[in-house]
Structure 1
Amino acid sequence: MLVNLTYEVFGKVQGVFFRKFTKDKAIELQIVGWVKNTEYGSVTGIAQGAKEKINVFKKWIQYEGSPHSRIDTAKFKEEEIEILEFTKFEVRH
């Protein structure tokens, strides 16, 4: 089963390489999508892939993150999809 996960992470998540580590984790898990900073200090994005891998990614985003980040809260919206919309995982600006 393929899943589309929309996420937003709040806390100390900018200026701590959160996007780079998120991309690395996504590539490790063979997930596609994107991540970017928002203008109000959070990080947001979309991740798509197999449900089991998305669950691992979700846990990582919510509890681990980059080494110097501090995650206060994370919001998720998940839905089943038929096909992947993206071909890779990228950092957007």
Structure 2
Amino acid sequence: MKTLEVNVFGVVQGVGFRWFAQQAAQKNNIVGWVRNRKDGSVTIQAQGTEENMANFLTTIKKGPGFYSRVDDVEIESIAPFESNVFAIRY
């Protein structure tokens, strides 16, 4: 099991990025959450198998499409947590 905090920078607010991250997580059996930050970035805490996490991160790095732009992704290992869903936090 892999547990990560992922900070995504670029044009990632107001473009459906949190919804996109939730859909990617559900598709890859990832649990955790996603939230906008005051500095315009997005933070994700995610947990899943090594393979599922790799697929999830590949999708996140591409971004949801035309109106968004992912400039940088910072990834850090964190302590495991208990969850059975991937939520959008406000």
Shorter-chain TM-score above 0.5 = yes
In 2, Cα distance between equivalents of 1:35 and 1:4: 14
Partner of residue 65, structure 1: 63
Shift of 1:80: 7.7
In 2, Cα distance between equivalents of 1:49 and 1:65: 20
Mark the runs of 5 or more structure 1 residues left unpaired by the alignment. Answer: none
Partner of residue 19, structure 2: 20
In 2, Cα distance between equivalents of 1:14 and 1:8: 13
Partner of residue 39, structure 2: 40
Measured on the aligned residues, the alpha-carbon RMSD in Å equals 1.4
Q: Deviations over 1:19-68 (max 9, x none)?
A: 00100010011110000000110000101011100011111112x11112
| Greater mean deviation of Cα atoms: 53-62 or 27-36 | 53-62
3-state SS of 2:72 partner: strand
* Identity across the alignment (%): 39
Residue 82 of structure 2 corresponds to residue 85 of structure 1: yes
Q: Which runs of 4+ in 1 moved over 6 A?
A: none
